[in-house]
Structure 1
Amino acid sequence: MNFRILLRTLVLLFLSSALYSQVTVSGHISDPDGANVPDVQVAISANGRKLTTTSDNNGSFRFLHVAPGAYRLRVEAAHGFEAYERNIAAGTNAVSLSIQLKVSSVAQEVVVASEPDAVSLDDSNNRDQIKADASLLQSVPVFDQNYIAALSPFLDQTGIGTGGVTIVVDGVERKGIGVSASAIAEVRINRDPYSAETRQPGRGRIDIITKPGTPHVHGSFNFTIRDSVTDAKNYFAVTKPFEQKRIYEGSITGPAAMDHHTTFLISGTRQEDNLQSIVHAITPSGVTNANVATPLHNTEFAARISHDFSPANRVSLQYNVSDVVTRNQSVGGLVLAEAGTNQRVREDDVIFTQRIIVTPNLLNQIQLFYEQDYGPIRSTTNAPRIVVDGNFVGGGAQADMLQNENNLKINDTVSWTHRHHYVTFGVNIPNLSRRAWDDNSNRWGTYNFASLSDYQSAKPYSFTQQAGPGRAIFWMNELGAFVQDQVQLRKNLQVSFGIRYDWQTYFKAWNDFGPRGSIAYRFKDQKTVLRGGAGLFFDRSGAPPEADLNRYNGHTIRAVTLLNPGYPNPYPPGMDINSFPTNLVTLEPAGRVPYNINYSLTAERELVKGLTLAVTYRGMRGISLLRSR
């Protein structure tokens, strides 16, 4: 009996020693010039057992939980490179490899697309996500090439937050994509939903990866035209309006120098949307029907140059510009042409990125992003605004405003691999911005009438007007810091846990720490994964509420509301706007940043090769949500 107990103890000790002696095999793949080679299938095999993975956008790969022994490593032929094979030995320490591929002698380039595992423990490869690569984006018709609008229905409205959809392009949070449609390499929704690296949950953001520079010239050009010749006639239009939209879009990438260590990417798009709005209103002179031109012209351009100082040090510099010009906006329906606005939104960006492989197990990437915005809004008519409920809106739009912004974003992320751990930590600063708002809106005042007869009788029920300098300058600063550890406890069990801190101006946030965590377990059949996760995510106020706090303080803008005023002179004799108390916007003393708790449970099952079923239960609870009273 004692011998059996001793034997079992020795077996358990042997198995425990084998489990904890397993190591990590990682490496970096480059071409003959030292540039990264992404999306290449890598495999290690021994005694009929095979592990596979795919190199990421940095050309890196890794295998976790590898038992000691001798293995055969193979890199499949792809992207015009020959296959690569070598023997490796996994001992007690982590194995780091540097692999340089050779160009295939075949004249015609053959691209072999690797197929990822059907079910994976990695949170970034969960099956409850929307993923579209470049080939899918080009083959699926997207209205007006607006991928953000096409993918937004797949987001959870409860996870979007106060500031709207979060767009992350190449790791930097942005207002728009910045590049044209053909320069997009991949789009994902719900990638790593409980990552501490991002402020929003997976279903509240869109992750976009743009195409990298290539050592060979590649390019595409697209032209789209849509005409109203086949449109049905609008019931309220006296004559059928002529409308036409033209989209010019393209991108090109290739080597910028003979040494092939420098590459470039140029992309651009021009959208000319010549639309018309139909006015159908009832004025004192009778029914008014009119077609009003409301053109929208959008121009975007991006240029990026990347240079590899060494296989471990890559630097890129990118410039983006977006210029949107609109005319006669808000016109249509009950709004007459005289009450429209002309608007321009221009954004210029400069992006610097440096990726350094300090050691085979340590990677650092820093991104500096400078943004300058210019956005004037002008009324087409300078006159008091007249609103007659249910009949017409005329006079001036009273929307005159100029918004300027100078913003700096900083991202610094460190990734470290050690045995069973994959640790990431860093700093995200999405906003270090100085903003200036010159608000001259509603200076002529707005009259509201309950009916057409009240308008003809000069009996408004309310009058609003603004006065004062109108210029507000304020800083909007936001920052975040995070740390996360992904641990491979066993071959079929992975746990990830982390914590994030977020802070922004105007709100007390000394204790705004958001813990995140997830777990994934794969069954013995290798076809079923059960994963779950939970996390606390802090929202943000955005610029408009902070601008209101600075404008409507009783000095910068005086805003008054009068009930049953006179017309056309709303004020009593001897009184003006300064004779009445002003509307104020203040922050509740106990106000804090809203946050929500997200949690989910997912079961993934490979039915047949190439077909996986994922069933997910998701929940969210919002706490201290923003409201205006």
Structure 2
Amino acid sequence: MKVVIRIDWKLAVASAALLYAIQVPAQQHCTSGIHIEGTVMDPTGAVISGAQVEAADGQKTVTDTSGAFLFPCVPITAATITVEADGFTQGVTKVDERVGGNAHVRVQLAVAAVQTDVQAVDDATAMDADHGVGTRTMTAQEVQQLADDPDDFLRQLQALAASGGGLPGSATIVVDGFQNASALPPKNSITSIRINPDMFSPEYERAPYLGGRVEILTKPGADLFHGALFFTDSDGNFNSTNPFSTTATPAGKRRYGFELNGPVVRKKSGFALALEKRDIDEFSVVNAKGLDTANNQIALQQTVAAPQRLWIASARNDWQITPNDVGTLSFSANNNSLGNQGVGGLTLAEAGYSSSVSEYNLRLSNVLTLSPNLLHETRIGYTWKRTTQTPNSLDPSLQVLGYFSGGGSTSQNLNNRERDLEIDDDVMLTRGTHSFKIGAQSLGIFVHDYDPDTFNGVYIFGGGSAPMLDSGGNPTGQTTTISPIEQYRRALLNLAEDLQQHISSQVALH
């Protein structure tokens, strides 16, 4: 069962319309026709200024900056309003009002269809930064059609990037023009995505020969307040139980969060916030064989919770420093925690581990328009990442091949810390149909890696040739082949378990 609740709200203040409403009583009353006032909007609800409005009797007017128009007195036989605006289809509405009445209409225009003629040429060697093999640009509407779950969303982008060649899981993800690879920001904060632009451009640190390239741009602040809340829940009560589990395994998934953007100072500064949390409750089932307290072989069946917790957030502030200078300060965070990993099958809960991967980015960018043909852009970013893996137990690893694996994990005791500093400075010059870009990039990476292997030691029982024992547990002088679990049992009871050990003991006795 999947329940999705999404709430969107918008708040806007149209001061011109309010002032006009106050002035209406002071206007002359229309006794021979209809007093008509109205507003013209686009499909999103934003007002359209400069639209041509005409009544059926030939009266014409133009909408003001708030999208409003007024006809003081229109004959009742001519109360049909036609609206036209560049880039939109024609809108027609009929006013139904009595003579001497006041009518207010809202006309919403649809976006006009655009027809483009494309001429194909036979130059197959031509390269275009936006039309190469596997290259595409996705708008905000197209991005919203992709998966909502962050992991599924990432896999889809990697699959799209693989269309240009390379391995899907090796695609490089970059955000807001920074060259240093980043984790995905919240989906609701993305305004567009470019997949596999000119991958051989010298501005990139290296050609992504192992995978494609995904460039993400996040949303700036808006002139109007806009926000959204979302919640998704998948109930695990409808899932079937694992056949090897002795108890029910009610797995479930929940995803919730919000987005909010709007102005800080009207026409000068704006902000954008996004926060997303995802909780996944999974279970691993152990189906192994071991020994009880009396050293008799028994079945080991466990149902072990394996929770996954992910939260991602972003905050951005844009401000117009001067008419030609725009600055942006952003912060993003991505934290993913997994519990009881590596458990299941023959691996007991004690041999599992937990992991955590976190990434934080603080970035500042400045775009200065020096002239209509010259643009200067500076970017400074600082990133700190941490990856940790913690074993559930620090005891030596115990592996009885084909029966069970217990004790502590041998390699999941990781602590990796990384600090990255990136500074980019670019200048772009445009002359006619040609663009020239020159700049300098600096990327410093500081890594501290602690990753010991088999730090706690390991005991492996694989079975093989061993002395044959009598009923009292004493060697008979003959050999036999024993299983790994029998070898483990003999070790617990301090019995002869290895032929070479028995021969060495006999040599010592003589």
TM-score range relative to shorter protein: 0.5 to 0.7
Q: Which residue does 1:280 correspond to in 2?
A: 287
Percent pairwise identity: 26
Contact residue 426 and residue 437 of structure 2 kept, 8 A = yes
Question: 1:110 Cα deviation (Å)?
Answer: 6.6
The one-letter amino acid of 1:454's match is P
The verdict on how the C-alpha distance between 1:345 and 1:318 changes in structure 2, with shifts beyond 3 A counting, is same
Secondary structure at 2:347 match in 1 = coil
Assess if the C-alpha contact under 8 Å between 1:334 and 1:391 holds in 2.
yes
What is the alpha-carbon distance in structure 2 between the residues aligned to residue 441 and residue 103 of structure 1? 69
Q: For structure 1, list consecutive stretches of 5 or more residues without a partner in the other structure.
A: 1-75, 85-101, 460-563, 568-629
Counterpart check, 1:152 vs 2:182: no
Letter in 2 for 1:422: S
Matched, 1:224 2:225: no
Aligned to 1:386: 398
Matched, 1:136 2:123: no
**The one of 338, 343, 348 aligned to 1:326:** 338
The residue that corresponds to 1:405 in the other structure is 418
Tell me the amino acid that sits aligned with residue 171 of structure 1.
G
Q: Is the 8 A contact 2:154 2:184 kept in 1?
A: no
3-state SS of paired residue (1:151)? helix
The one-character-per-residue Cα deviations of 1:176-209 (angstroms, maximum 9, x if unpaired) are 4453111111223223344333333596111212
Instruction: Return the offset for 1:247.
Output: 0.7
Displacement after TM superposition at 1:245 (Å): 1.2
The alpha-carbon deviation at position 133 of structure 1 amounts to 2.2
Offset of 1:146 from its aligned partner? 3.5
- Note if contact 2:194-2:216 (Cα within 8 Å) is conserved in structure 1: yes
Q: Distance in 1 between matches of 2:460 and 2:144?
A: 50
1:504-515 alignment, distance < 5 Å: none
Q: Deviations over 1:257-288 (max 9, x none)?
A: 2x430100101111111211111223343332
- Deviation digits for residues 478-498 of structure 1 (CA, Å, limit 9, x no counterpart): xxxxxxxxxxxxxxxxxxxxx
Aligned counterparts, 1:350-499, within 5 A: 350-398=362-410, 399-429=412-442, 431-450=443-462, 453-454=483-484, 456-457=486-487
The residue identity in structure 1 corresponding to 2:438 is F
Correspondence 1:105 to 2:58 = no
1 CA distance for matches of 2:197 and 2:374? 23
Secondary structure class of the residue paired with 2:130: helix
1:162 to 1:131, Cα distance in 2 relative to 1, 3 A: closer
CA distance 1:369–1:109, change in 2 (3 Å): farther
Give the deviation of 1:344 after TM superposition: 2.3
Do structure 1's residue 253 and structure 2's residue 261 form an aligned pair? yes
CA distance in 2, matches of 1:275, 1:152: 25
Note closer, same or farther for the CA distance 1:457–1:378 as it changes in structure 2 (3 Å cut): same
Q: Which residue of 1 aligns with 2:353?
A: 341
For residue 173 of structure 2, what is the amino acid of its counterpart?
A: I
Answering whether residue 181 of structure 2 is matched by residue 169 of structure 1, we say no
- Equivalent pair of 2:346/2:404 in contact (CA under 8 Å): yes
- The 1:393/1:174 distance shift into structure 2, 3 A limit, reads farther
Deviation (angstroms), 1:386: 2.3
Give the secondary-structure state (helix, strand or coil) at the position aligned to 1:275.
strand
Partner of 1:44: none
Q: SS at 1:148's partner residue?
A: helix
The 3 A distance-change label for structure 1 pair 213 and 146 is farther
Residue 325 and residue 145 in structure 1: after superposition, are their counterparts in 2 closer, same or farther (change >3 A)? Answer: closer
**Which structure would you say has the larger Rg?**
2
Work out the CA distance in 2 between the residues paired with 1:148 and 1:111.
33
Pair 1:267-2:274 in alignment: yes
Tell me the TM-score normalized by structure 2: 0.64
Where structure 2 has 5 or more consecutive residues not aligned to the other structure, the ranges are 1-41, 52-63, 69-105, 120-126, 292-296, 464-481, 490-497, 502-510
Alignment: residue pair count: 369
| Greater displacement, 360-369 / 229-238 | 229-238
Superimposed CA distance per residue, residues 117-141 of structure 1 (whole angstroms, 9 cap, x where no aligned partner): 5658853145843443222332454
Q: CA separation of 1:158/1:415 partners in 2, compared to 1, >3 Å: closer, same or farther?
A: closer
Are the aligned partners of 2:146 and 2:153 in contact in 1 as well (CA < 8 Å)? no
Q: Identify if the C-alpha distance between structure 1 residues 116 and 448 changes in structure 2 by more than 3 Å, giving closer, same or farther.
A: farther
- If asked which structure has higher relative contact order (CA below 8 Å, sep 6+), I would say 1
Give, in angstroms, the shift of residue 174 of structure 1: 4.9
Aligned 1:3-42 pairs, distance under 5 A: none
Whether the aligned pair in 1 keeps the contact of 2:290 and 2:485 (CA below 8 Å) is no
Q: 1:111 to 1:369 in 2, by over 3 A?
A: farther
* Equivalent pair of 1:190/1:201 in contact (CA under 8 Å): no
Pair 303,420 (structure 1): closer, same or farther in 2 beyond 3 Å: closer
Q: How far did 1:82 drift?
A: 4.3
8 Å contact from structure 1 (residues 179, 268) kept in 2:
no
184, 207, 217: which one pairs with 2:215? 207
Matched residue type, 2:302: A
Partners of 2:183 and 2:111 in 1: CA distance: 28
